[in-house]
Structure 1
Amino acid sequence: MPDPRHSIPPAYGGVEPDAAWVEEIKRLAEARNATILAHNYQIPAIQDIADHTGDSLALSRIAAETDADEIIFCGVHFMAETAKILSPEKRVLIPDERAGCSLADSITADDLRAWKADYPDAVVVSYVNTTAEVKGLTDICCTSSNAVDVVRSIDPDRDVLFLPDQFLGAHVKRETGRDNIHIWAGECHVHAGINGSELTEQTEAHPEAELFIHPECGCATSALYLAGEGIVPEDRVKILSTGGMIDAARQSKSGQVLVATEVGMLHQLRQAAPEIDFRAVNEKAACPYMKMITPAALLRCLTEGRDEVFVAPDVAERARRSVERMIAIGNPGSGE
């Protein structure tokens, strides 16, 4: 499901994740005193070799607590930036610096400055899936699991600028009932491509299944409609962050779960609850940027010490404050 607005560069290849590769990755990581972090959307081989797997904020907080000299962040670029923001004294590397994000790219710092000028008294709430520069212009960050709580914490008479994901913003507006929330029209092209007709078709084919829906998905509204119409029992429809999906999987009594998010998530879900049949709502919902972190890219990173992620100290300081304000509100969740 390539994003038509972006040209996806070819990933580094030619290396198989065999036993020799595993041994060499572990040897290099130990020699560099490096910790390997892998996002839930990475390919299974990368998830399995990592010291920690999770969503971006959870991994960035782990990075801040580790004694390692280097953080190898297997994810997309904004995630490695977040790790650097929370761990300014550590060296942060991403195995392929070209691994971008269509959602983070949907709003620039200049875009946000112009939007803020239109609403000078508004509170800016940014999803963690944003660049460091955008976080640096933000009042409070949020995750998909705490976005509703963050917006509810804001004076009801203040305008809110919510960015960049329009589907998460619609979820927050629906839950808070706020009329003075203005939502940026950004999207993750992978999640936006998981549509309501696919969800309806899958629920008809699997009538007993639970639904795990990421709020970035274009089908989130359809899931709530199916529940509201009684087509799917309301208690089977769960709007969840990636971290929330893992927790829900461990507690679920269902035999089958339909999952609406990037397909890499299925690997972690199947490990968390191997007795459940997890199925993707859209099997083609694979992020090409996430899949740029290949076995060859990770080997290159650890062998050559590339690619290092830098965030200007003043930008990092401002961005850190927006994340810390979110944590101070409580219920920071784990991440996107």
Structure 2
Amino acid sequence: MTLQAQDLVPFGGVDADAAWAEEVRRLARERDAVLLAHNYQLPEIQEVADHTGDSLALSRIAAASDASTIVFCGVHFMAETAKILAPGKTVLIPDARAGCSLADSITGEQLRAWKAEHPGAVVVSYVNTTAEVKAETDICCTSSNAVDVVASIPADREVLFCPDQFLGAHVRRETGRENLHVWAGECHVHAGINGPELAERAAADPDADLFIHPECGCATSALYLAGEGAVPADKVKILSTGDMLKAARSTSARSVLVATEVGMLHQLRKAAPEIDFRAVNDRASCRYMKMITPAALLRALREGRDEVHVDADTAARARASVQRMIEIGQPGGGE
């Protein structure tokens, strides 16, 4: 779903004022729709939504909701996951051009070829993947349960882990598993949060906690800093977005440096307004997430655009890989 930058001109011309919010909620009632917003969305989209969270948590809310329509304010694979878990509901994404560099880093065809090179291997895919990839997957995982999912697989079985190389490196580090093969994919936003800028920010605020998403290019650097004593080990926390919110409510730190997409700061500041949350990289903004503008949301509700479809066979196979993950244990945060 990822398009070239010149194709990504967001729908505009609408101010997110009180009248807009009232109209959004009125249209949602008319359409019998529940509004879901990912943690990386614009603050005004998060504020108008019925529920905010990570993609898996929101998809499970979608499946349990009585609403006949799901409006998923996030990127395309997230709306697909909602459709997989709620096949009888209408799922709308306010702008179908909102793709994902990580989900696009492996296709179903590429995964089938990789499997053919490793017959008998167990495929573990991050939930940040397309429906087609999930359909070729044995077990899905989230960033918070990836280690448990891989550890549940017999030690003598090869594992193919995709698509995120940084999360894969984290899993290999935690499990010590040598027969874990990792696909070389990445989220362009998280990969751009690098070790040197993390070290510089941490040195400038030595008392700050470090909340590091495992998709980040700086996750290994954070653990290195802790190992070298440059940062106290108890300050370094490798966390999914959902687990960041839990940690925000329990930390005793007065300041927290956050290495993930900057939209997450809105929910963190709401959860613990007394703490100074700052981005490790202020430029870590996903242009695909920000395609979901106030104008795009109005368009979806007024016109029923853009509806998300997943063919029944693909959805059934993809649903099975998600259900196997849930059976292993609490999936925690989706990303």
TM over 0.5: yes
Instruction: Give the length in aligned residue pairs.
Output: 334
Are residues 1:254 and 2:253 paired? Answer: yes
Superposed, 1:102-181 pairs within 5 Å as 102-181=101-180
TM-score (norm 1): 0.98
Is there any run of 5+ residues in structure 1 with no aligned partner, and where? none
Cross-structure match for 2:311: 312
Residue type of the alignment partner of 2:310: V
SS state at 1:99 partner = coil
Aligned equivalents of 2:321 and 2:202: distance in 1? 39
Aligned-pair identity in percent equals: 74
TM-score (norm 2): 0.98
CA positional deviation for 1:120 = 1.0
Structure 2 contact 166–215 (Cα < 8 Å) conserved: yes
Aligned equivalents of 2:135 and 2:196: distance in 1? 38
Are residues 1:279 and 2:278 paired? Answer: yes
Is there any run of 5+ residues in structure 2 with no aligned partner, and where? none
Cross-structure match for 2:299: 300
- The 1:303–1:4 alpha-carbon spacing in structure 2 relative to 1, beyond 3 Å, is closer
Structure 2 contact 82–91 (Cα < 8 Å) conserved: yes
- The 1:4–1:14 alpha-carbon spacing in structure 2 relative to 1, beyond 3 Å, is closer
Report the aligned-residue RMSD: 1.1
CA positional deviation for 1:16 = 0.4
Cross-structure match for 1:61: 60
Cross-structure match for 1:207: 206
Aligned equivalents of 2:207 and 2:7: distance in 1? 38
Aligned equivalents of 2:3 and 2:248: distance in 1? 33
Cross-structure match for 1:34: 33
Structure 2 contact 56–127 (Cα < 8 Å) conserved: yes
Structure 2 contact 201–280 (Cα < 8 Å) conserved: yes
Aligned equivalents of 2:247 and 2:285: distance in 1? 22
Cross-structure match for 1:242: 241
SS state at 1:35 partner = strand
Residue type of the alignment partner of 1:122: A
Aligned equivalents of 1:199 and 1:9: distance in 2? 30
Structure 2 contact 143–333 (Cα < 8 Å) conserved: no
Q: Deviations over 1:8-32 (max 9, x none)?
A: 5100000000011011001000011
Aligned equivalents of 2:303 and 2:25: distance in 1? 15
Cross-structure match for 2:78: 79
Residue type of the alignment partner of 1:329: I
Structure 1 contact 8–288 (Cα < 8 Å) conserved: no
CA positional deviation for 1:331 = 2.1
SS state at 1:300 partner = helix
Aligned equivalents of 1:244 and 1:201: distance in 2? 25
Aligned equivalents of 1:194 and 1:220: distance in 2? 9
SS state at 1:81 partner = helix
